[in-house]
Amino acid sequence: MRTTGLLGSFVYIFLYVAKCTYGSCPNGWITHDSKCYHFSHDTEPMLLAKLSCQELGGALVEIETATENDYLAAYIRDKQTYYLIGLNDIQEEGNWVWIGSKTQASYINWRPTEPNNGVDENCVVIDGTVGQWNDTPCHLAFNYICEKDSVDSEIVGK
C-alpha cells in the first residue's frame, strides 16, 4: 500500500515539475518558446480583434524577432490569408507602434514597397503566403493572431 502512495507522489511531483519547466497553453492556443498563440477563425477589424484577444486573456500579437515571425508565417502559410497583428501608425503617420505595449517596433518585415500608406492604411497584416507585412486600413476585417505568456506553475520557495 505504501509503494502505491509513494509512486503516486513521484508521478505528481514529475507532472508538477514538467508543468513548471515547460508551461502550458489553454485549449485552442499553440505553444512556441514561452508564448501561446491563438489564430482566429473569424475576421474582425483591428479594434474588435484587439477586444477579442483581451476577452481570451491575451493581446494582438507583437512580433519581436525574425524567429517569431518565421514561426507564425509557417503556421499560417497553408491558409493563404492575411492575419492582423498588433502594429499600427494611427497616432503618428510612419511611427509604427504596437497597440498593446505602445512601444515602437524594433523588428519589422515589410513586403517590398510597403508600407505604402495607401488609402488610410494604418494597421498591419502578415501575409500568409510569404510571411511579410502589409499596411492596410484598420476598418477592414481580417483573421487575427492573439498572444499571451505560457502559463507556468508557481515554483515552491519563491
For 24-42, b where at least 16 C-beta lie within 10 A, e where not — what string? ebeeebeeeeebbbbbbee
Q: Work out the angle at residue 151's Cα, subtended by the Cα atoms of residues 47 and 142, and round it to the nearest 5 degrees.
A: 25
Domain boundary assignment for the chain: 26-149
Whole-angstrom CA distances from 149 to 1, 36, 37, 56 are 41, 6, 9, 12
Q: Which three cell numbers stand for residue 38?
A: 491563438
44-97 pLDDT per residue, tens: 999 999 999 999 999 999 999 999 999 999 999 988 899 999 999 999 999 999
Collect all residues with Cβ–Cβ distance below 8 Å to 24 and sequence separation of at least 6. 31, 150, 151
Task: Please state which of the four CATH numbers 3.40.50.300, 3.90.950.10, 3.10.100.10, 3.40.640.10 is assigned to the domain occupying 26-149.
Answer: 3.10.100.10
Which of 1-5, 63-67, 114-118 has the highest mean predicted lDDT (pLDDT)? 63-67
- Please give the pLDDT value at position 117: 84
Q: Is residue 16 pLDDT above 70, yes or no?
A: no
**How many angstroms separate the CA atoms of 59 and 80, rounded?**
23
**How many angstroms separate the CA atoms of 98 and 157, rounded?**
35
Q: Please, what is the average pLDDT of the chain?
A: 85
Read off the amino acid at residue 23. G
**How many angstroms separate the CA atoms of 89 and 97, rounded?**
6
Please give the average per-residue pLDDT across 7-20, as a whole number: 40
- Please give the pLDDT value at position 121: 96
- Please give the pLDDT value at position 119: 81
pLDDT band at 156; cut points 50, 70, 90: very low
